[in-house]
A and B are shown apart, each in its own frame.
Chain A
């Protein structure tokens, strides 16, 4: 059994976690894995086909880990490529869902370390923060390597098992996705508390309304850019208007008023 494909998987996953995030793109990942398995041409064909899917799914990728899903898909499909490119592509959607679920589970696992990292920050111990980050990265890399190793040994049975699981127990996926989507709400609540959320209800609701309109019209990436630009404009407008309110008005020197006896002003 060759170790080279596992080394390539290690390189790709390390690039995902601590470099350019580009080796995980299907075009590159499948080419590299195909070359290491001795199926360079098939790997490139598979990579090209999956890359088109990847581009199509990009509009989801900002807040759903589509990239990780495609990394998982690329790894498993490349190991199955000996059975033909078409056969590898057929089950790509099942692998994609499996990859997204795996990323959600890993993210939930990483959340368990948050209290420890908070304590390390209170002691301003950045070495400990870095250490925990490294350990978590190592665990995540090992999970991907483990998946790659088991797929390499039992490619077809794992393919069948994954497809069956996703089609038979879709509600497990619904639960995982619900937890992962609602988890950031806790972080938003903490942010609001720390910003002094009492006075911010209007701004938050305005943000939700604008976000909803934008999301229904365009992709999340474009919506996010526009939301951030509007936020800056809103802040700047508020800052400028409060400046105008606080600029001291020059007091005109009061001219002596000619008055006649009785307090009435001379009209002429």
Chain B
């Protein structure tokens, strides 16, 4: 079975998920980042968290396998808003949307939730609480540290259980309206997914270490600001080229994923050799 090319055989809308199942998904979502991997991010945890709900949605065994398979693709949701994305994806699964639509919405929701989690909580709320608590900690006040830890823990638990219901309810509400125009929806979501993957390539490969070292080495020589900003695009270009090379190998040359992983490891070894010869240092 090739995940992604096949579509669901049973296209009938599933029964709405009950509160108990949604809570079970929220509970499992705590372990989403337990086994993060380099290739698909938090996909193991994501797939495991959604499994109880997917089992209720897909009665057909092949559909269930397909659904679990495509939910094992790249996922990175962050710690605060992950259940919001899960709720939306489950609403799409229950409506038996096209796989391209689910995939695109899932990827975009993931970027949104991960970025919001960092921008809103890690950079703003938690950092503000931490800055308020640091003077207390410096004076030996244990209570300030306890307040900081408790506030964050309560926020995590409340958000996880509340957001899955919001995501599922709102997602279902919107999708019920949009499902009447299935073909247009699939086309629009494909464009949305493509755009998000483009953005993700830039964000995820921003720190390709070797190219960053090269960039900082070149920038240290006198360069105009325009040339410097053009050089900043080097890591993203490497990521884009690599993505399309792997896309070509996977689709045209029928390479397996393991072979592609081998190629990346080989590139890493070549980078070690080059940086050893040139005497590069890490930019971190």
Interface string of B141-156 (1 = CB under 8 A from A): 0100100110011001
Given A173-B282, A234-B195, A20-B157 contact (CB < 8 Å): yes
Closest to B272 in A: A175
Task: Decide: A235 and B118 in contact? CB cutoff 8 A.
Answer: no
Interface residues of B, count at CB 8 A: 129
Partner of A243, one of B45, B133, B184: B184
Task: Decide: A182 and B205 in contact? CB cutoff 8 A.
Answer: yes
- B206 contacts which chain A residues (CB < 8 A)? 63, 215, 220
Interface string of B13-38 (1 = CB under 8 A from A): 00000000000000000110111111
In the complex, what's the smallest C-beta–C-beta distance from A189 to chain B, in angstroms?
4
CA distance A22 to B140 in the complex (A): 20
Residues 205-250 (chain B) with a chain A CB within 8 angstroms: 205-210, 213, 229, 232-233, 235-236, 238-240, 242-244, 246-247, 249-250
Closest to A176 in B: B268
Partner of B198, one of A96, A204, A242: A204
- B148 contacts which chain A residues (CB < 8 A)? 22, 25, 27-28
- A18 contacts which chain B residues (CB < 8 A)? 30-31, 34
CA distance A228 to B149 in the complex (A): 30
CA distance A45 to B134 in the complex (A): 9
In the complex, what's the smallest C-beta–C-beta distance from B280 to chain A, in angstroms?
6
Residues 171-205 (chain A) with a chain B CB within 8 angstroms: 171-197, 199-205
Task: Decide: B208 and A61 in contact? CB cutoff 8 A.
Answer: no
In the complex, what's the smallest C-beta–C-beta distance from A75 to chain B, in angstroms?
17
- A121 contacts which chain B residues (CB < 8 A)? 47, 65, 68-69, 71-72
Does A38 sit at the interface, judged by CB under 8 A? no
- A107 contacts which chain B residues (CB < 8 A)? 36-38
CA distance A251 to B185 in the complex (A): 27
Does A153 sit at the interface, judged by CB under 8 A? no
Segment among B89-97, B109-117, B165-173 that sits at the interface with chain A = B109-117
CA distance A137 to B70 in the complex (A): 23
- B247 contacts which chain A residues (CB < 8 A)? 189, 192-193, 197
- B83 contacts which chain A residues (CB < 8 A)? none
In the complex, what's the smallest C-beta–C-beta distance from A194 to chain B, in angstroms?
3
Does B261 sit at the interface, judged by CB under 8 A? yes
Chain A contact residues (Cβ within 8 angstroms of B): what range? Answer: 35 or more
Task: Decide: A97 and B282 in contact? CB cutoff 8 A.
Answer: yes
CA distance A15 to B39 in the complex (A): 23
Residues 168-219 (chain B) with a chain A CB within 8 angstroms: 178, 181, 184-185, 187-210, 213
Partner of B189, one of A114, A190, A214, A235: A235
Chain B interface, DSSP helix/strand/loop, else mixed: helix
Closest to B128 in A: A55
- A180 contacts which chain B residues (CB < 8 A)? 38
Closest 8 CB pairs of A and B: A207-B198, A194-B4, A224-B115, A203-B194, A211-B202, A235-B192, A126-B51, A200-B194
**Can you pick out 25 interface pairs between chain A and chain B where the beta carbons lie within 8 Å of each other?**
A19-B153, A22-B148, A23-B149, A28-B148, A61-B118, A62-B78, A63-B203, A96-B284, A108-B38, A129-B48, A129-B68, A134-B34, A174-B271, A175-B272, A181-B204, A182-B205, A192-B194, A194-B70, A203-B191, A206-B198, A207-B202, A228-B196, A231-B199, A235-B108, A238-B191
List the interface of chain B (C-beta within 8 A of A): 1, 3-5, 30-31, 33-41, 44-45, 47-48, 51-52, 55, 61, 64-65, 68-74, 78-79, 99-100, 103-104, 107-109, 111-112, 114-116, 118-119, 122-123, 126-127, 130-131, 133-134, 137-138, 140, 142, 145, 148-149, 152-153, 156-157, 178, 181, 184-185, 187-210, 213, 229, 232-233, 235-236, 238-240, 242-244, 246-247, 249-251, 257-258, 260-261, 264-265, 267-269, 271-272, 275-276, 280-282, 284
List the interface of chain A (C-beta within 8 A of B): 17-23, 25, 27-28, 31, 40-41, 44-45, 47-48, 51-52, 55, 58-64, 96-97, 100, 104, 107-108, 110-111, 113-115, 117-118, 121-124, 126, 129-130, 132-134, 136-137, 140, 170-197, 199-212, 214-216, 219-225, 227-232, 234-236, 238-239, 242-243, 246
